[in-house]
Amino acid sequence: MPIVLHTKIDTETTLGLWKTDETLEELLRLCPSNDRRQADRFTSESRRREWLAWHALLQELRPGARTRYDEQGGPLLEDGGCIGVSHTRKYAAVILSGRPCAVDIEQTDRNYSRVLDRYSAPREQRLGLTLPDPSLYPALFWCAKETLYKLKRMPGIDFLKDLHIEAVDPLTQTLETRFRDLPQRLDYRLYGTLCCVFGLE
Closest CA to 89 of 103, 105, 75: 105
| pLDDT confidence tier of residue 124, bands split at 50, 70 and 90 | very high
E-only strand ranges, the chain = 3-10, 13-19, 67-69, 75-77, 82-88, 91-97, 101-107, 163-169, 174-179, 182-191, 194-200
Q: Which domain holds residue 59?
A: 3-98
Q: How far is CA 146 from the centre of its chain?
A: 7
pTM score:
0.92
Hey, what amino acid is at 38? Q
Residues 110 and 174 placed together within one structural domain of the fold: yes
What does the pLDDT average to over 5-13? 89
State yes or no: pLDDT of 2 exceeds 70: no
Query: What is the dihedral sign for C-alpha 144, 178, 201, 8?
Result: positive
Residues 143 and 80 placed together within one structural domain of the fold: no
Residues 115 and 83 placed together within one structural domain of the fold: no
Residues 52 and 123 placed together within one structural domain of the fold: no
Residues 83 and 133 placed together within one structural domain of the fold: no
State yes or no: pLDDT of 169 exceeds 60: yes
What does the pLDDT average to over 83-99? 93
| pLDDT confidence tier of residue 123, bands split at 50, 70 and 90 | very high
Residues 83 and 10 placed together within one structural domain of the fold: yes
State yes or no: pLDDT of 170 exceeds 90: yes
Tell me what pLDDT residue 172 has: 97
Tell me what pLDDT residue 16 has: 94
